[in-house]
Amino acid sequence: MNFTFLVNIGANLAKNLKFIQERYNPEFLYMKAIEVINNKLEVREAQLPELKDDEILIKVKAAGLNRADIAQKNGLYPPPPGASEILGLECSGIIESVGKKVSSKKPGEEVIALLAGGGYAEYVACPEYHAISKPDALNWVEAASIPEVYATCWLNLFMEAGMKKGDKVVFHAGASGIGTAGVQLAKVFGCDSFVSAGSREKIDFCIDLGASAGEIRSNDIFASIMDWSPKGADIILDPVGAEYLENNLQVLGMEGRLVIIGLMGGAQSNLNLGHLMIKRQKIIGSTIRARNKDKKNEIMKELSNKVLPLFDQGLLKPIIHEALPFSQCERAHVIMEANENIGKIILNLD
Amino acid sequence: MNFTFLVNIGANLAKNLKFIQERYNPEFLYMKAIEVINNKLEVREAQLPELKDDEILIKVKAAGLNRADIAQKNGLYPPPPGASEILGLECSGIIESVGKKVSSKKPGEEVIALLAGGGYAEYVACPEYHAISKPDALNWVEAASIPEVYATCWLNLFMEAGMKKGDKVVFHAGASGIGTAGVQLAKVFGCDSFVSAGSREKIDFCIDLGASAGEIRSNDIFASIMDWSPKGADIILDPVGAEYLENNLQVLGMEGRLVIIGLMGGAQSNLNLGHLMIKRQKIIGSTIRARNKDKKNEIMKELSNKVLPLFDQGLLKPIIHEALPFSQCERAHVIMEANENIGKIILNLD
């Protein structure tokens, strides 16, 4: 054993230690995360996510709940290949470290992020461009309410349905996170909106936010839509699916776009292609989670440029139903499953 | 009665005569046109079309037949409001006169035109921008085969379905006018196409035109599509409708676009929104005839700039099944109704 050999051992040890520090090697570091145990949520210990070269590691300050989390919890919505098994599609937080090839972000930056999974945890990794700077006007809880609903609205209203000034837009489940975001976006971009929702209170809330009309789900929503817009709607954003399909197409006007983003009312339906053709309508099936990395980059870039400044200008506001501590994740899900919320439910890790 | 009065009378007479000459006042001028008499076609005398200020009057040299003409003849496809009651959605010809506000066209110019109706006649009027210069390489009969099928393909493949290089495109009724145009456009723009058709002869014809595969309608078209493209098709241009809907969506790949342009197989269908959503597919109902003037202007401008030069360059060729004299219009329809044709049937008025 000579001196050179000892020096090599020392250098290797230092290198390995650096690697461990840089990469939060999951064999050495653990975090708190929420796990699904017999369809209930519990805080457990989990390995830190592995950080890929083009990813950033975020220390989560708050995480938003989404209805898709319920489906995933119940085994009905598996995460896309390569995504974390942990629930959670959005968060706010501080960048803890960055992968080797990351060029746009630095540790210490405050961000909000669209996630393919993993948000219900102390740390989450995501591609660098899926995180964008947190608006200054928002606190952590408010900021965590933005990525999923605004990315979904931006993608579906603007990119898929080509929403433009003067369009008449229907939001079913108008008091949901997506509905309350959509109503505000429609107003800011010069469109008129109609909401359906489960109660008069929810309708009134949406009208305060900028919708011009609405109807309670137990009444005849579709007759009310025709009263609101005798020529029909230009766009319908619909999380219901089969149960509403034929009525939706009836109240959709010439060259109208029906964007299906959920199937709360089933998947199997009848369809009359004659009306679809004569009215030159489009039915668009859309999800955001399984989109490829580039598409998500594009959506988040547009959000950052065109939507986030509107929060700082006071033209959009986050709609928070309730923020609960991380430890009360199970209760948070119970509230969402009861459909009681207006706007978003948030887990607070701060 | 003084001199000034006589001059005024003379001036008014001259003005009126000029008006008559300019406008082909229908009270004074008649033309031959095809009328539907007991569901049969006959050449009769008809009033010349009235020329609006933004329209041109074309002396028709040849007129293309389209399947929509059959539906209209049978009372199933009324012309859009304001359009001629005479059949005929496309023609080639020479501009005879122009309306007061026409700025882009002059009498004597050779054009092809997309019509909302009225093509089965000696003269037809249409908005100035719905006519574009006839390609030099084409004779009158060939030129008359272009507007409707190429405008339909351009609208639906490029504008509606966003066709781009590398896309895999299915044409049902591949040997039709639209099919033979679509297969050629797909090839020129770097896309791979598959056709379904009624006979081996028709499939082979399409493969000669540039399709890479095809299947006879009596066999399992959809299994053959999956053999041709295991990931499914990017675009399906479909004149069949209900009968094919569920199978079409099955063989449509991720983010695929199904454009419904006809209902030869009925209108009422089942639809599984689950597949549509997970695969982020679009169903697009489309017709061209009832589109507004501006949209048709846009389509024809793009045709003129991007497609017609390809005829002069020999990269596209008109596919004419048969050209018949104007007087044999009834026989022309019998051929189309028997579905025997490969490519277009044309009425020759030259």
Question: For residue range B284-316, what is the model confidence (pLDDT) as tens digits?
Answer: 999 999 899 999 999 999 999 999 999 999 999
DSSP class of residue A121?
B
The answer to whether the Cβ–Cβ distance between A285 and B263 falls below 8 Å is no
Give the count of Cβ contacts less than 8 A between chain A and B: 98
Kindly determine whether residue B285 and residue A284, on different chains, have CB atoms separated by under 8 Å. Answer: no
Q: Region B61-85: what's the mean pLDDT?
A: 92
Give kind and range of the element (H or E) at residue B7: helix B3-23
Chain B residues whose beta carbon lies within 8 Å of the beta carbon of residue A268: 270-274
- Would the CB atoms of A263 and B279 count as touching at under 8 Å? no
Q: What is the C-alpha to C-alpha distance for residues B41 and B88, in angstroms, rounded to an integer?
A: 12
Looking at beta carbons, which residues of chain A come within 8 Å of B241?
Answer: 273, 277
Task: Please tell me the distance from the alpha carbon of residue A210 to that of residue A298, in angstroms, as a whole number.
Answer: 27
- Spatial CA neighbour of A89 closest among A59, A111, A121: A121
Question: Which residue bears the tokens 């995480």?
Answer: A63
Of all residues in chain A, the one with the smallest CA distance to B271 is A269
- With a pLDDT cut of 70, the percent of chain B lying above it is 92
Distance CA B87, CA B78 (A): 10
pLDDT (0 to 100) of residue B293? 94
Given a cut of 90, is residue B335 above it in pLDDT? yes
Q: Provide the pLDDT for residue A139.
A: 98
* Cα–Cα–Cα angle for A127, A259, A333, rounded to 5 degrees: 60
Residue of B241, B262, B281 lying closest to A285 (CB–CB) = B281
Total-model pTM:
0.88
Q: Mapping DSSP to helix (H, G, I), strand (E, B) and coil, where does residue B113 land?
A: strand
Q: Which residue of A has its CA nearest to B282?
A: A284
Q: Flag whether pLDDT at B149 surpasses 60.
A: yes
Q: Which one of B281, B285, B291 has the shortest CB-CB distance to A281?
A: B285
Q: Which residue is listed with tokens 């989670």?
A: A289
> What is residue A26's predicted lDDT score, i.e. its pLDDT?
46
pLDDT at B76 over 90: no
Q: Minimal Cα–Cα distance from A160 to chain B, Å?
A: 10
Q: Quick one: tokens of B264?
A: 């030869």
Residues of A with CB under 8 A from a CB of B: 241-242, 245, 260-263, 266-287, 290-291
Which residues of A are less than 8 Å from B280 in CB distance? 285-287, 291
- Check A277 against B261: CB less than 8 A apart: yes
Q: Are B256 and B279 in contact (CB under 8 A)?
A: yes
**pLDDT confidence of residue A194:** 98
What does the alpha-carbon distance between residue A170 and residue A246 come to, in Å, rounded to a whole number? 15
Q: Which residue of A has its CA nearest to B281?
A: A285
Give the burial string for B80-90 (b: 16+ CB within 10 Å, else e): eeebbebbbbb
Pair of tokens at residue A156: 């579906």
Place of tokens 């022309």: B332
How far apart are alpha carbons A18 and B48 in whole angstroms?
A: 88
Task: For A290, name the nearest residue in chain B, comparing CA atoms only.
Answer: B278
What is the model's pLDDT at position B26? 46
pLDDT in tens, chain A (350 residues): 456 666 666 666 555 555 555 555 545 589 999 999 998 999 999 999 999 999 999 999 999 999 999 999 999 888 988 899 999 999 999 999 999 999 999 999 999 999 999 999 999 999 999 999 999 999 999 999 999 999 999 999 999 999 999 999 999 999 999 999 999 999 999 999 999 999 999 999 999 999 999 999 988 999 999 999 999 999 999 999 999 999 999 999 999 999 999 999 999 999 999 999 999 999 999 999 989 999 999 999 999 999 999 999 999 999 999 999 999 999 999 999 998 889 999 999 98
Nearest to A267 among B268, B273, B290 (CB): B273
Task: Give B280 to chain A, closest Cα distance, Å.
Answer: 5
Among A262, A273, A282, select the one facing B242 at the smallest CB separation. Answer: A273
Shortest distance between the Cα of A245 and any Cα of chain B, in A, equals: 9
What is the predicted pLDDT for the residue at A145? 98
CA pair distance B165, B235, nearest whole angstrom = 12
Pick the more confident residue, A23 or B102.
B102
Task: Give me B25's structure tokens.
Answer: 């006042």
- Closest by Cα among B341, B350, B291, B296 to B70: B341
Cβ atoms of residues B81 and B108 within 8 Å: no
Non-local (6+) Cβ contacts of A71 within 8 A are A77
CA–CA gap between residue A238 and residue A218 (Å, rounded): 17
Give the type of residue at A299. I
Mutate which of B152, B280, B281, B291 to test chain A, going by most A C-beta atoms within 10 A? B280
Tell me whether 0.90 is exceeded by the ipTM: no
Contact A267 B263 (CB under 8 A): no
Q: Which residues of B touch A250 (CB under 8 A)?
A: none
The answer, yes or no, to whether residue B91 has pLDDT greater than 50, is yes
- pLDDT score for B77: 85
- Please tell me the distance in Å from A56's CA to the nearest CA on chain B: 28
Strand A30-37 relative to strand A40-47, pairing: antiparallel
Domains and CATH numbers, chain A: 21-146+290-348 (3.90.180.10), 150-285 (3.40.50.720)
What average pLDDT is seen over chain B?
93
For residue B9, pLDDT over 80 is answered with no
Q: What is the pLDDT of residue A331?
A: 96
Query: Taking 80 as the threshold, does the pLDDT of residue B5 lie above it?
Result: no
pLDDT of residue B350: 87
Residue B102 to residue B51: CA distance in whole angstroms: 11
Q: What is the DSSP string of B39-66?
A: TEEEEEEEEPPPPPTTEEEEEEEEEE--
Classify residue A51 by its DSSP letter. P
